[in-house]
Amino acid sequence: MKKIEGGVCAPQGFQASGVNAKIKNLKITKKDCALVYSEAPATAAGAFTTNVVKAPPVAWTEGVAIRGACRAVFINSGNANACTGSRGLSDVQAIAEKLSGELGISITEVGVLSTGVIGVPLPMDRISDGLHGCVAALSPGGNADAAHAIMTTDTVPKEYAVEVALSSGPVRLGAMAKGSGMIAPNLATMIVVMTTDARIEAEVIQQLLRECVGVSFNCICVDNDMSTSDAVVVMANGLAGNTPLLPGTADYEAFAAAFRALCVEVAQALVRDGEGATKFVEIRVNGARTDEDAKTIARSIAHSQLCKTAFFGEDANWGRIACAAGYSGVRFPQERLCISLGDLEVVHEGLPTGFDEAAASTIMKAKDIFIDVSIGDGAGSAVFWTSDLSHDYVSINADYRT
Amino acid sequence: MKKIEGGVCAPQGFQASGVNAKIKNLKITKKDCALVYSEAPATAAGAFTTNVVKAPPVAWTEGVAIRGACRAVFINSGNANACTGSRGLSDVQAIAEKLSGELGISITEVGVLSTGVIGVPLPMDRISDGLHGCVAALSPGGNADAAHAIMTTDTVPKEYAVEVALSSGPVRLGAMAKGSGMIAPNLATMIVVMTTDARIEAEVIQQLLRECVGVSFNCICVDNDMSTSDAVVVMANGLAGNTPLLPGTADYEAFAAAFRALCVEVAQALVRDGEGATKFVEIRVNGARTDEDAKTIARSIAHSQLCKTAFFGEDANWGRIACAAGYSGVRFPQERLCISLGDLEVVHEGLPTGFDEAAASTIMKAKDIFIDVSIGDGAGSAVFWTSDLSHDYVSINADYRT
């Protein structure tokens, strides 16, 4: 597996575009409509927010993913089309219908996603201009424009691609993402579009996506607020010509490893670009009875406001880490708890080690902090990524809407 | 029921004291050791942190409460005696033994609680001075000294008392508390001591305490970090001479209402004194299938960092409230969701009402904000209290330990 350029257009037969259509208001000059298109039919998979307050585009695109075929995904920023009721859903259908006509594909193969302010109907005239412009601008080099167009409070565009050698030759995977951690303007939207030219059945890639989401997008935290619009959509057009990938084969394992690595890379990028984030913190838990228990403990630490403010303060506050592990809901013997910050063990079998504060301070002052928590109760392990809770986080979110 | 003065000493036969013993360090001049003592044997109840990393004093005092008899509670601030292993537990036993001797009561009737820095053994010589001083200073008017002595980052002492008329005459209830919401220095300690001169069996008051904690201390949130030391201890010495209170009687109902009101008053005081809090927010959820579902939704809103920063920003951000309700884990039809800020309905049946922003702004600028969320799915209801997430919260917690 090697990293390559090209984002969502890196795999064969994918085109993309991004244009400005002034979706949020007439003063907007940044690109705000994006389209990713596969020249050939593509199988599809998706993972979506479980929030019961679900934006109409998510409901629509979930239906597309369930059918297992998708050739185009249109995304606008500036307006989330959320809390817009039946009008919101008919607007999504109108977008899918128009794209279906312009691209000459079935309406059931068109995904539609939106991010931005909520409770405001889409400006459908400008959306029409945007999607028409996106179709006209489609190109095999349009990936960067698309990655820019979906940004909201993101400070950097996020696109990645890898190539992996299978027995039949190389296949490629690409991805673009938006989201400042789990959160973003108003409603914390994370949108990820992944492309590949591998041949893989919809059920197979759906299962793979489910597994990979569990160790990537479900293992990150900026503020634990789950959006009404979170979505990951995958398209696989098969143009690499490999034998369809099936679990249990070496080719599948190679592809799955690349797919998982791409998901983890994108997930980590979302945390690094978290709103107000000054730290990237990796929390590794081992020795739990099960992997699920380990994840619960890691999540509890990652979500703790007290831990996150301590990270911001560069304070080696092992007590808060022990405390958050303790209230996670997982029962474990506290007299076996060990905690290390980087290479420095700060708690050994439930008691502070009397560590060197200067050494701890050096570790906490780094941009990337690694925390190991050992429970001594089994073989379960998990990794979680989180950011710190800073003054900028409060500032960004205290006055977003007004 | 009427409010009265006297805190934990308001009920007959209770004495208290608070002295300075320089527990945290030799520069401390504030009172930091407190004692509450009942002149007569008292039944007891308790509610304690469920954190598996539990401080030795909590483990000890939980044992006292389980036995159902307690005549004295000693509390020090400045050192939590947490993460101190077997030494921590033997220190607690030594304190209980010494108090038992000085007060002439059984060691099993002595509760011991600690709050402050963690991972540091108690300075037992100064603790000895403190508890000796507390015993010498015991008086029926010592309640204010005791309430001061248990403060850490609290900005105000918290003590309350009420009198309620039973058929046999008045009984009194008193309380003192420390804690800035669920949190406080290092480890978010909430300590509450309640006293009453009512006659009530240990099992009955234990059950009543459990019910009342469920609608008071378990319904508040400053930052969702559960301490290793949270504890509520109740002593009932029976000196009011009433017939023992039994559920199903009018006297019991009157007492229970007063007990519940006292718990709610103390819980709200903890939120109002939350670290960095500028707002007090009451979240009322109704129309859920069950009370438990309603509580889950209310808790989800109360814990949302995005909602809490919006409260700080005085932003009528109904979208974040709808979103937090949506991801609570409770399934409900989003098209029935209604949200009001004060008297102003901002979401009606899933859609924004197009409310007057100026009116909403006036409501959000108040110190106390009331939010009603209606799910339209049943008769379950709940109330939760929370504070906002401010710059001061980040400042206070980013550099506590160092």
Q: Which residues of A touch B390 (CB under 8 A)?
A: 394
What CATH number has the domain spanning B2-272?
A: 3.60.70.12
* φ, ψ at A49 (rounded to 5°): -55, 145
Residues of chain A with confidence (pLDDT) below 50: 182-187, 402
Mutation for testing the B interface, residue in A89, A307, A308, A309 having most B CBs under 10 Å = A309
Q: Does A69 contact B at CB distance below 8 Å? A: no
Determine whether the interchain pair B401/A315 forms a contact, defined as Cβ–Cβ distance below 8 Å: yes
pLDDT attached to residue A222? 66
A302 with A283: CB under 8 angstroms? yes
Each of the 402 residues of chain B gets a pLDDT tens digit; together they read: 999 999 999 999 999 999 999 999 999 999 999 999 999 999 999 999 888 888 899 999 999 999 999 999 999 999 999 889 899 999 999 999 999 999 999 999 999 999 988 889 999 999 999 999 999 999 999 999 999 999 988 899 999 999 999 999 999 999 999 987 544 334 457 899 999 999 999 999 999 999 999 888 888 876 656 667 789 999 999 999 999 999 999 999 999 999 999 999 999 999 898 878 899 999 999 999 999 999 999 999 998 888 999 999 999 999 889 989 988 889 999 999 999 999 999 999 999 999 999 999 999 999 999 999 999 999 999 999 999 988 888 887 776 554
Q: Are A365 and A312 in contact (CB under 8 A)?
A: no
Q: What's residue A187's pLDDT?
A: 43
Instruction: At B282, list the tokens.
Output: 């009451």
> Which residues, 6 or more positions from A78, have their beta carbon under 8 angstroms from its beta carbon?
A23, A24, A25, A28, A32, A115, A116, A117, A152
User: Taking Cα atoms as reference points, which of B63, B55, B179 lies closest to residue B120?
Assistant: B55
Helix (H), strand (E) at residue B292: helix B291-303
List the single residue in B82, B352, B394 with the smallest CB-CB distance to A119.
B352
Short-list B297, B376, B298, B289, CA closest to B336? B376
- What CATH code would you report for B280-398? 3.10.20.340
Res A182: pLDDT: 47
Per-residue confidence (pLDDT) for residue B222, from 0 to 100: 66
Determine which one of A189, A195, A228, A386 is catalytic.
Answer: A189
What does the DSSP assignment read for B166-218?
Answer: ETTEEEEEEEEEE-BTTB-TTT---EEEEEE-S---HHHHHHHHHHHHHTTGG
A95 secondary structure, DSSP code: H
Contacts of A218 in chain B (CB under 8 A): none
Strands B280-288 and B380-387: antiparallel
* Nearest by CB: B315 against A183, A352, A402: A402
Q: What pLDDT does A186 receive?
A: 41
Inter-chain residue contact A188 with B227, CB threshold 8 Å: no
**Is there a catalytic annotation at residue B189?**
yes
Phi, psi of A128 (to 5 degrees): -60, -45
DSSP state of A29: -
DSSP run (H or E) holding A112: strand A110-117
Q: What is the pLDDT at residue A185?
A: 37
CA dist., res. A333 & res. A331, Å (int): 7
Residues of B in contact with A310 (CB under 8 A): 397-398, 400-401
Which residue, among A48, A58, A339, A402, would best test binding to B if mutated, counting the most B CBs under 10 Å from its CB? A402
CB contact under 8 A, A401 and B312: no
Closest chain A residue to B334 measured between Cα atoms?
A: A53
Q: Which of B186, B224, B319 sits opposite A83 (nearest CB)?
A: B319
Are B193 and B202 in contact by the 8 Å Cβ rule? The answer is no
Taking the CA of residue A273 and the nearest CA in chain B, the distance in Å comes to 17
A184 to chain B: closest CA residue: B306
CB–CB of B64/B70 below 8 Å?
yes
- Considering only CA atoms, which of A184, A379, A384 is closest in space to residue A288? A379
Read off the tokens for A251.
Answer: 């080719």
Domains in chain A: boundaries:
2-272, 280-398
Which entry of B49, B84, B115, B189 is annotated as an active-site residue?
B189
Distance CA(A100)–CA(B187), nearest Å, equals: 57
Q: Which amino acid is at B362?
A: T
Residue type, B388: D
Q: What's the rounded Cα separation, in Å, for the pair A210 and A217?
A: 10
